[in-house]
Amino acid sequence: MKIIITGSLGHISKPLTEELVQKGHQVTVISSKADKQQEIEALGAAAAIGSVEDVDFLTATFTGADAVYTMVPPTNFFDPNFDLTTHCSKIGNNYVHAIEQSGIKRVVHLSSIGAHMEKDSGLILAHRAVEVILDKLPGDVTITFIRPVGFYYNLLGFIPAIKNQGVISANYGADELLVWVSPIDIAAAIAEEFETSFTSRKVRYAASDELTGHETAKVLGEAIGIPDLQWILVSDEERLRVMKAVGLNPTIAEGLVQMFASQYNGSLMEDYYRHKPALGKVKIADFAKEFAAVYHQK
């Protein structure tokens, strides 16, 4: 199968590319960085250098392929002028145009936990908007929406607070059961979807491990030599104050706080628990080693 991968050699796209190449697929990786070409080719894939914001480039790259993995690339949440909803919608529409014009019939799209919600989910509404856009593709285009839970590597963002205050503090967690996922397990789910036959639209959740905020803090704390590390629950207002203080785009900060508030009240996770997947192989104890390495480098 000829498969196009967006996301360059990021957290998910690199292990996905490696797995698909190993399985004998013909893979092309889109990257906006020309210096990634050699690394992409070293994995046994072809490189297409260009931007997903360039619809003509996308259409040309998709033409002749059987399937595509789509995602919205990471952006700068500290840019005060950045509009996430507009950005995501533009890329979603670019994908629709390129898929229709190229004739691709199989799509696996990286969405997010909480994309079932029509309101009160903060930043997740931008991911929902992309799902809605892609869902307008003709019925003969088969789509899997991959909805991962919280990424392990997001926990790295707590390192400054741990070093400065000795705790993890957030407006979610503590006694709440948290669900985490490794990019490696997401990549495995995506690869499996490319080789699964069906003719419709579906949602698949991706998760690796489940434990409370306190349990998460304990595992990470033991890995960095702070066995009594605590996860402290703070108010939405306090979390918002801290996020704005470090320079986050105010709208992004408000969206993050609302997203985590919806996680804490359970609404963000409702559909996940209705369609709970088998957990992946990479556990929090595995990630804790990576967390400790980063912690001790800073």
Mean pLDDT of the chain: 97
Which CATH number is 2-150+181-207's, of 3.40.30.10, 1.10.579.10, 3.40.50.300, 3.40.50.720? 3.40.50.720
pLDDT above 90 (res 2)? yes
213-224 pLDDT, tens digit each: 999 999 999 999
The label of the residue with tokens 């285009």 reads 141
Tokens of 272: 């996940």
- Cβ distance 26 to 3 under 8 Å? yes
**How deeply is 168 buried, as exposed, middle or buried, from its count of CB atoms within 10 A (0-12, 13-18, 19+)?**
buried
Element containing residue 264 per DSSP (H, E): helix 250-264
Residue 199 pLDDT: 82
Q: In the chain, which residues fall in CATH 3.40.50.720?
A: 2-150+181-207
Contacts of 132 (CB under 8 A, 6+ apart): none
Beta strand ranges found along the chain (DSSP E): 2-5, 26-31, 46-49, 67-70, 106-110, 142-148, 150-151, 167-170, 177-181, 201-206, 209-212, 230-233
Q: What is the mean pLDDT of residues 231-251?
A: 96
Element containing residue 245 per DSSP (H, E): helix 236-245
Q: How far is CA 290 from CA 42, 181, 295, in A?
A: 25, 14, 9
Please give the Cα distance from 75 to 112 (Å, whole number). 16
Residue 74 pLDDT: 86
Q: What is the mean pLDDT of residues 62-88?
A: 95
Tokens of 22: 């190993």
246-266 pLDDT, tens digit each: 999 999 999 999 999 999 999
- Cβ distance 203 to 268 under 8 Å? no
Q: Which of these, 196, 151, 157, lies nearest to 10 by C-alpha position?
A: 151
The dihedral through the CA atoms of 194, 200, 206, 210 has a sign that is negative
Residue 281 pLDDT: 98
**How deeply is 214 buried, as exposed, middle or buried, from its count of CB atoms within 10 A (0-12, 13-18, 19+)?**
middle
**Per-residue pLDDT band at 298 (split at 50, 70, 90):** low
Tokens of 293: 């390495």
pLDDT above 90 (res 294)? yes
Q: What is the mean pLDDT of residues 29-57?
A: 98
134-174 pLDDT, tens digit each: 999 999 999 999 999 999 999 999 999 999 999 999 999 99
Share of the chain above pLDDT 90, in %: 98
